[in-house]
Amino acid sequence: MNIHVRYGLPFIEVTICYRGEDLRLRNVLLDTGSAGTIFNADVVGNIGVKIEPGDFLNRIRGVGGVEVVYSKLFDFVRIGEVTLEGFEVEIGEMNYGMEIDGILGFDFIHSAGLVIDCRELTVAERD
């Protein structure tokens, strides 16, 4: 899968599925410095992802400050040919001053065994 540089940062395409509904996210930051994966609430709302009774709110802290998020279990999260089923992600407002659909964090990168090639601007599954 190719990495596209925007705002001086690495972005990739990710396909997600929630309760049987698929959505392609074209603007996902590939971030080894983020412990967790987070998706933009406005974007994933298009496939029915929303806060529901019983969901717990959590505060996360990052370079952009503090944000309140909730977690959802997705049917799958996929980049290229690499799919993780039953993957839990956080959902938040993501008002970071740039167009962004989500952040693919180290939790996914590590679990999927991804290899990032910064010279070739590709990401692939480890051989």
* Residue tagged 């496939």 (tokens): 47
- Where in the sequence is the domain holding 10, given as residue range(s)? 4-125
Contacts with 58 (C-beta within 8 Å, 6 or more apart), sequence order: 68, 69, 70, 71, 90
CA distances, 24 to each of 17, 47, 67, 79 (Å): 9, 11, 24, 10
Backbone φ and ψ for 10, nearest 5 degrees, come out as -85, 120
Q: Is the pTM of this model over 0.85?
A: yes
Domain count, the chain: 1
What's the distance, CA 58 to chain centroid?
17
CATH number of the domain that residue 8 is part of:
2.40.70.10
**Per-residue confidence of the chain (127 residues) as pLDDT tens digits?**
999 999 999 999 999 999 999 999 999 999 999 999 999 999 999 999 999 999 999 888 876 677 889 999 999 999 999 999 999 999 999 888 889 999 999 999 999 999 999 999 999 988 7
What's the distance, CA 115 to chain centroid?
17
